[in-house]
Amino acid sequence: MSENECRYTPPMSAHVLSGKPVADQLLEALKPQVEVLNPKLVIVQVGADPASTSYITQKFKSCDRVGMRHEHRHLETDTSFDQLSSLIDDLNRDSDVSGFIVQLPLPSHLEPHTPQLIRAVDPRKDIDGFGAYNLGKMFLSVEFEHLPPATPSGVIELLNFYSIPIEGKHAVIVGRSNIVGKPLAVMLLNRGATVTVCHSKTKNLSHFTRQADILCSAVGHPKLITKEMVKPRAVVIDIGVNRMDGNLVGDVDFESIKEIASAITPVPGGVGPMTVASLIRNCVRAKERQLEDQK
């Protein structure tokens, strides 16, 4: 080949950011603390939503791996608001319960009461990090984060594990939920990223996504993010969870985007295992703080 000839170089495929080794490392590091502190995690489930049942199974599997005590409080679909509130009160008062979550979504008759029910959870036991107290601490600074929301916290752990810099980068988040999009924006901002949050009312979404060094999607819309919406060499974090024909898929068109991104999370096996590991870490932290407060 002469010097002037152009050599075809195949596109470099993205680094696939598996959450498994990250979650494994996090869980392994928690084992000695679990042995000493002996925390207990409770999950409240109302009804039998199959996706919720599957998430709960994964959470309890990880509890077993680290030797953490756990209990499933499974209530009938027609449980009333008062009955659920009363269970939350009991769990708040039970000194043997270190942390608990109410698995969402709730059945349709309880769904509108979700904010009120989240508010009823004692902030010291709010291991989902969904309540105003824990969100407020996370909002203030990295140092004040104590029980941060599990999914955004898992994303940060994932980026750290793979040595992906955050400071000075432009992070674009698609989705503005209280449990993922908004807290993730603040956590990235507090770590020095410039953050743009896009949502269902954003006009010309791709104008923003194409600027992202780190693009995170948490919408719940399969293949929302296509190759044309991604800047070459961007890091793409897929937080979407969608069921299609019995399979779990994210928000991102993984196959085409992996050809141009520098790194990308798979679904399943990316952010999902990180959410579970962060929840268990929060339960250990909750118990640790409860013991300190007793001193």
Contact residues toward ligand GUN (CB under 6 A) are 55, 101-104, 128, 150-151, 275
| Catalytic residue status for 137 | no
CB nearer ligand GUN, residue 14 or residue 22:
22
| Catalytic residue status for 59 | yes
Distance of alpha carbon 166 from the chain centroid: 17
Measured distance CA(156)–CA(161) in Å, rounded: 9
Q: Minimal CA–CA distance to 89: which of 43, 42, 128, 122? A: 122
Q: How far is the CB of 17 from ligand GUN (least distance, A)?
A: 20
29: three-class secondary structure by DSSP: helix
By beta carbon distance, the residue nearest ligand GUN is 104
- On the question of a cis peptide bond just before residue 21, with omega within 30 degrees of 0, the verdict is no
CB nearer ligand GUN, residue 55 or residue 254:
55
Measured distance CA(196)–CA(174) in Å, rounded: 9
CB nearer ligand GUN, residue 102 or residue 249:
102
Name the catalytic one among 45, 125, 126, 128.
128
CB nearer ligand GUN, residue 14 or residue 183:
183
Q: How far is the CB of 228 from ligand GUN (least distance, A)?
A: 30
Q: How far is the CB of 43 from ligand GUN (least distance, A)?
A: 8
Measured distance CA(199)–CA(215) in Å, rounded: 13
β-bridge partners, 113:
none
Q: How far is the CB of 151 from ligand GUN (least distance, A)?
A: 6
Q: How far is the CB of 128 from ligand GUN (least distance, A)?
A: 5
Question: Residue 90: in which H helix or E strand, if any?
Answer: helix 81-93
Distance of alpha carbon 92 from the chain centroid: 24
CB nearer ligand GUN, residue 128 or residue 251:
128
Name the catalytic one among 103, 169, 238, 258.
103
**Contact assessment for residue 252 and residue 240, using Cβ atoms and an 8 Å cutoff:** yes
| Catalytic residue status for 20 | no
Q: Minimal CA–CA distance to 291: which of 38, 35, 16? A: 38
Q: How many CA atoms lie within 13 A of 177 on its CB side?
A: 14
The residues annotated as belonging to the active site are 59, 103, 128
